Structures are given as structure tokens and as C-alpha cells.
Amino acid sequence: MHAIEVRHLHKYYTVHHKAPGLMGSVRSFFRRQYRVVRAVADISFTIDPGEIVGFLGPNGAGKTTTLKVLAGLLHPTAGEVRVLGFIPQRRERAFLRRITLVMGQKQQLLWDLPAIETFLLNQAVYGIPEAEFRRTLDELTELLDLKGLLTKQVRKLSLGERMKCELAAALLHRPHVLFLDEPTIGLDVTMQARIREFIREYNRRTGATVLLTSHYMADVAALCRRVLVIHRGRLLYDGDLEELAERVAPYRVVRVTMAQPLPVSALSPYGEVLSLNSHRAELRVPRARTAEIASAMLTALPITDLAIEEPPVEEVIRRVFAEASALEIDESGSQEEGE
């Protein structure tokens, strides 16, 4: 059985539309106008137990809406959604005990109390036996390095410390499915790395399924082999992250260190020179000819070190969105010509 099943999911909102100014307000009072906003449009995917899947898209693409539907906070306009065999919108107790939703921009911790008070509240809400609660809390304290934080007032914790406590509060009932919406937003690089390592270790220890959204591509590259890419409510890609890079960005980046400075003209025959700074250079070369070009450079140039890298994930995703936008423009243009 799949941990998550989404079949032809649609989610539309009816939004009040008001013209600006006083007259717009008056007209709206007597005759309200509405428009339909398409948040999610006919997306389908499945996720198996234990997978960590990245859910990518720009702001407003429909990622958070989809997560809220999967968590049962929103009802789908159309389509079928199942999580662990449950229909989320029914919000059954057995379902809620097996999932969690963590949103980096919202918090569940009680602001004026120590984090342990929220943990005890969650223990009561989920009916967690005392022995199990203490065992889980000890494990999360070790994994997240929470010693000394549990009894501090939440308002006095740093952003990174609060985020660690948020994760602990959300995982005390040992959920089988984690919906993580921007869990590292606003954190510094060091804390982002620690949160990523925690998610990886929690998945390894418990076998939990993780659906992760993030604008930090380092999160996705470090945790997710598979990605879902959504744009303007539509699913553009579902598959291996490396395969996406090969399809969208058919090149690799070659970084070289040279024994002596060389001009651009000496490097350009081997590929597109992206940067050149004294003894270091960066080139973009065709993916299919990477080995051939690297060998030729090592033979002909005074190179002391050479590294071959995949293009940055940010650039790959940016190209996907650019292609989708260009396709939409072409389609709209064709429709107008047909009309």
C-alpha cells in the first residue's frame, strides 16, 4: 500500500474581488464580484512508505495547499486523496495520530511558557503513555541537542532553537508521515544542516515517510532523491532529481586550477567559460562530452586540479519553471490566433 495517494486533485478558491477606491468599496457593498483562483489543478502522484520526497515550486505554486489537503486541513474541490489508507478530510483520530504537519512560518509552541509545557500538552492530546513519552523525549533531545532548552521560555529561544523544539513537539507521538513545509526557513547555514541531518536520521530510525517543501535547494539535494515539481497548480515533473538535471540541463560544470594564469581564449575551445580568476576557472561543457573534454584539457593545459560537478539544483529548477512559462505563453498565443 502506498503511504500517500493523490489522484486528480483539484483545489479552487472563490475570492472576493473589489475595485480600488471609495467607489469600488460602495459597488462591492451592493454588488459583490467574485473570481475563481486555481490553487491546484489535476495533480496525481503516489509516495511509498519510507520515501523522502521533495516538493518544489515557486511561491503560489500550490505546495502548501496540497500539504494542507493531505493533512486534512482543507477539503479538495475534486479528486481523491488517501494517506496511510485514510481519507484526510474526515480527520479521524487514528489518522491524526499517525501524521504531522510542520510549517516553518507558524508555531505551535506556547510563547510565554517553556517548550516542555507544550510537550506535556501534546502528551495529553495524543494520549501518550508516560514511559513512551519519556523514551521518545529522551531520543529527540539527543537527536536535536535540546538539553537546556526545554525549560527556557520559548520567547527567549533563538529561531534555530525554536525550530528544533517545534520539530520535537510535532514528533512526540511518533508519526508515520511527516509533512514538512519550509522547516529550515530563516535559519542560518549551520542550523539548516543540523535540521537536515535530523530529518535524515529520523527517517532512518523510524522508516517515516517525508514530504518536504523548501526554497533552499541544499535541503532537497541533501535529503531527496525524488522530487515533485509544481508550477501554477500543475505537476510538471515527478521523478529522479539527477534525471531531471540531465534532461533540463544537458551539461556539466568543470572547475580547474591551473599552474599559471591563462586567457579566456585558451579555455574557450573546451567549453563556455563561466568565470576566470587568476589560476582558477569554471567552464560549462556538454554532458555527453565531459570525459573527452576533461581528458583533452589535462593533456593540453597546465592544470593542477580538475573537478566535474553537476549544475546547481537551483539552476535546474529555474530552467523547469522557465520552460513551463514559455510553454504557457506559446499555448495562449496559439489559442488567440485560433480565435
Alpha carbon dihedral 144, 149, 151, 157, in 10-degree steps, equals -130
Using only the alpha carbons of the chain, give its radius of gyration.
25
What does the alpha-carbon distance between residue 116 and residue 328 come to, in Å, rounded to a whole number? 50
Q: Minimal CA–CA distance to 144: which of 90, 82, 102, 95?
A: 102
Residue boundaries of the structural domains of the chain:
4-244, 250-310
Question: How is residue 130 written as a grid cell?
Answer: 508516560
**Strand 272-277's sheet: what is its strand order?**
272-277, 280-286, 251-258, 303-309
Instruction: Note down pLDDT in tens along the chain; length 339 residues.
Output: 899 999 999 999 888 777 788 887 778 777 888 888 889 999 999 999 999 999 988 888 899 999 999 999 999 999 999 999 999 999 999 999 999 999 887 888 998 999 999 999 999 999 999 999 999 999 999 988 898 899 999 999 998 899 899 999 999 999 999 999 988 888 888 888 889 999 999 999 999 999 999 888 888 888 999 999 998 899 999 999 888 878 888 888 999 999 999 999 999 999 999 999 989 999 999 988 999 999 999 999 999 999 998 887 777 888 887 777 666 555 555 444 443
The whole-angstrom separation of Cα 52 and Cα 276 is 38
Residues ≥6 apart with Cβ < 8 Å to 147: 141
CATH number of 250-310: 3.30.70
Q: What is the pLDDT of residue 330?
A: 54
The pLDDT, as a whole number, for residue 336 is: 43
The contacts of residue 43 (CB under 8 Å, 6+ apart) are: 6, 8, 9, 62, 66, 230, 233, 234, 235
CA atoms of 93 and 234, how far apart (whole Å): 31
Model's pTM, two decimal places?
Answer: 0.80
CATH domain 4-244 topology: Rossmann fold (3.40.50)
Burial of 107 (0-12, 13-18, 19+ CB in 10 A): middle
Can you tell me the distance from the alpha carbon of 80 to that of 6, in angstroms, rounded to the nearest whole number? 6
